[in-house]
Amino acid sequence: MTTITSGSPEISSSDYYLLDELLTDEARDVRDRVRGFVDRDLLPVINDYWDRAEFPFELVPKIAQLGLVGSTISGYGCPGLSRLAAGVLTRELARGDGSVNTFFGVQTGLAMGSIALLGSEEQKQRWLPGMAALDVIGAFALTEPGHGSDAVRLETTARRDGDHWVLDGAKRWIGNASFADVVVVWARDVEDGRVKAIVVEKDTDGRYPDGYSADLITGKIGKRAVWQPDITLRGVRVPVENKLDEARSFRDATRVLTSTRGGAAWESLGHAIAAYEIALAYAGERQQFGKPIASFQLVQHKLAEMLAEITAMQLYCFRMADLQEQGRLTGPMASLAKMHHARKARQVCLDARDILGGNGLLIEHHVARHLTDMEVVHTYEGTDSIQSLIVGRDLTGISAFT
């Protein structure tokens, strides 16, 4: 990490307010473990995977060896991290790459999170240990071709037929779903009209049930190294015991999304830190007009503005972790953080690209990858506009959605 000197103490260029001093031993250990993995294993290979839009399967065993899958979940082989340590984990993965962070987030926060939050004890014992070891890969199927921000109106149906549920419909942008072993599918029960979560899983031969198909979405400008296919469900039969016991309405899907939304803020911070540190180092090395561009007023001003935004984002994240640990973080609070961080990190990455000039267009410098990955973060788990309306509803008591 780039460091600078202010007076006598040496401080991290991206931790200007020395917030890492507030890390617990657990969070510091997570930071060091993940940063080591990123610098040693991820960064040397990720650009090639990103450029070819291929998933880096070679990194999956190395991620498993970190012992961090499952994050805040306790038991079942999961590490039971504090909210602060979990946030630092997300920050450090995103500092490396957004695609790998999305793979991890889908596995840990959405798929495992749904099972841990809404599954019965038998269901937790059945799926979580294998998922914690990354022997079992998960996916979370909520978004549909016609329903993103208004996912509450989802059209995928579940019909009870004896000892099975029969699923029909389509899902879109479902990370990991072309190779996942278990897919948490959210569908509307035709009998009572309520939304429920049903786990579709491969059989012992590694095959999906008849009627399940996944087609990769291609041509993405960001998060190219994570596979996010379209899913088609045509009469897919799933045993009744695969319905998550406590998933009884769309509110339960919202509970899962609320618990993970803070992760998008931490991820935005990671992308911003990476882009800023690359730009700072580049400015000190790049010569123009016979001197480093770091000596130019315009570049120094831009770097100072980037650091100010990153510092504000860090303060948000640390306070958010405190509130989560106390059980006091509300959905609108998480929305405010996601809205703010996605917007600010997007700009920090854009400013870093600008400092690198033409070289900023090349993925070999990594900034272009972080910039386009932030375009994805800006949209998923609720766009900037949707987050603002969630906060606005909380402030005024009036919903602007409908």
Give the model's pLDDT for residue 91. Answer: 97
Q: Which residue type, as a one-letter code, is found at position 213? A: S
pLDDT tens per residue, range 279-320: 999 999 999 999 999 999 999 999 999 999 999 999 999 999
Q: How far apart are CA 85 and CA 299, in angstroms?
A: 34
SS3 167: strand
Residue 164 neighbours by CB distance under 10 Å: 15
pLDDT tens per residue, range 190-229: 999 999 999 999 999 999 999 999 999 999 999 999 999 9
Strands 195-201, 212-215: pairing kind? unpaired
pLDDT reading at 31 higher than 80:
yes
Closest CA to 282 of 370, 354, 347, 375: 354
Query: Percent of the chain at pLDDT above 70?
Result: 96
Long-range contacts of 325-328, Cβ-Cβ distance < 8 Å, separation of 24 or more:
325/82, 325/83, 325/84
pLDDT tens per residue, range 122-151: 999 999 999 999 999 999 999 999 876 666
- Residue entry with tokens 């059209």: 155
> In whole numbers, what is the pLDDT of the chain averaged over residues?
93
SS3 205: coil
Q: How far apart are CA 370 and CA 222, in angstroms?
A: 8
Structure token pair of residue 48 = 């090639």
pLDDT tens per residue, range 243-279: 999 999 888 988 888 878 789 999 999 999 999 999 9
pLDDT band for position 2 (cuts 50, 70, 90): very low
Give the model's pLDDT for residue 134. Answer: 98
Strands 138-141, 291-292: pairing kind? unpaired
Computed on alpha carbons and rounded to an integer, the radius of gyration of the chain in Å comes to: 21
Give every CB contact of residue 251 below 8 A, 6+ residues apart in sequence.
Answer: none
pLDDT reading at 353 higher than 70:
yes
Structure token pair of residue 2 = 């780039």
pLDDT reading at 1 higher than 80:
no
Residue 249 neighbours by CB distance under 10 Å: 15
